[in-house]
A and B are shown apart, each in its own frame.
Chain A
Amino acid sequence: QSVLTQPPSISAAPGQKVTISCSGSSSNIESMYLSWYRQVPGSAPQLLIYENNKRFSGIPDRFSGSKSGTSATLGITGLQTGDEAIYYCGTWDYSLNAHVFGTGTKVTVL
């Protein structure tokens, strides 16, 4: 089981804002850089946010990342049908000596 916990699913109407949480511990989120990925079923994950809050090349500013203590958040504003996907957080855990991913959150646009 993953050491990073995310809500299983979130849904919202087009144009709304959603926030996805990622909860960890002092050995991972609190002390290491966090990244966020989007995965459409059948495709490879795509990097959205790196180093906690930096948008990767080509990612619109509707996507934002933040971190506080042992938790992090991905925000998506102006929700679009194309944002339907599963979102994962990820970071290094120095206690496990391993890269870890979150449990994944499925975003549904109503």
Chain B
Amino acid sequence: QLQLQESGPGLVKPSETLSLTCTVSGGSISSSNYYGSWVRQPPGKGLEWVGSFYYDGNTYYSPSLKSRVTISVDTSKNQFSVKLNSVTAADTAVYYCTRHHTNSWFDYWGQGTLVTVSS
């Protein structure tokens, strides 16, 4: 059974960089059928796709976040990460890492980690 676990600071100051890592166990995220992805959810609001990486090295980002977000992968550690720079209070959310099939469904999710942007 694939398991994903997010880790990283729970508090980030405005204008700084949010950085989270997802550790995958029970399998590999690098496959021709799947992406590794980040999805976030502001408190009390809906789900928002942040971005995804594909095993061939390509990355895909939400148009609204594209200028500030970077997703990278460390296959040797079975981890992938997200960095979001110049954060504001609007970036406060629970961030989930998830496996994303090429046919647009998310099957395995981490438990999520709350990141609060505040001074």
Q: Do A and B come from one complex?
A: yes
- A32–B111 Cα distance when bound, in Å, is 27
> If A44-B109, A45-B109, A97-B63 touch, does A32 touch B48 (CB 8 Å cutoff)?
no
Write the B33-73 contact mask toward A (1 if CB under 8 angstroms, else 0): 00001010000001111001000000010110000000000
- A55–B47 Cα distance when bound, in Å, is 21
Task: Indicate if the CB atoms of A101 and B46 lie closer than 8 Å.
Answer: yes
B66 to chain A, nearest CB (A): 9
Dominant SS among interface residues on chain A: strand
B54 to chain A, nearest CB (A): 13
B8 to chain A, nearest CB (A): 16
- A50–B101 Cα distance when bound, in Å, is 10
- A101–B39 Cα distance when bound, in Å, is 10
Task: Indicate if the CB atoms of B103 and A50 lie closer than 8 Å.
Answer: yes
Task: Indicate if the CB atoms of B46 and A33 lie closer than 8 Å.
Answer: no
Task: Indicate if the CB atoms of B46 and A92 lie closer than 8 Å.
Answer: no
B101 to chain A, nearest CB (A): 7
**Chain B: number of interface residues, binned into ranges:** 20 to 34
**Chain A: number of interface residues, binned into ranges:** 20 to 34
| Smallest CB gap from A39: residue in B | B47
B31 to chain A, nearest CB (A): 16
- A90–B96 Cα distance when bound, in Å, is 15
Residue among B105, B107, B112 with max Cβ neighbours from chain A (10 Å)? B105
Task: Indicate if the CB atoms of B103 and A90 lie closer than 8 Å.
Answer: no
Write the A71-105 contact mask toward B (1 if CB under 8 angstroms, else 0): 00000000000000000101110001111111110
| Smallest CB gap from B101: residue in A | A50
Task: Indicate if the CB atoms of A103 and B46 lie closer than 8 Å.
Answer: yes
| Smallest CB gap from B112: residue in A | A44
Extra inter-chain contacts (4) besides given A50-B101, A96-B63, A97-B60, CB under 8 Å: A44-B111, A92-B104, A99-B52, A103-B46
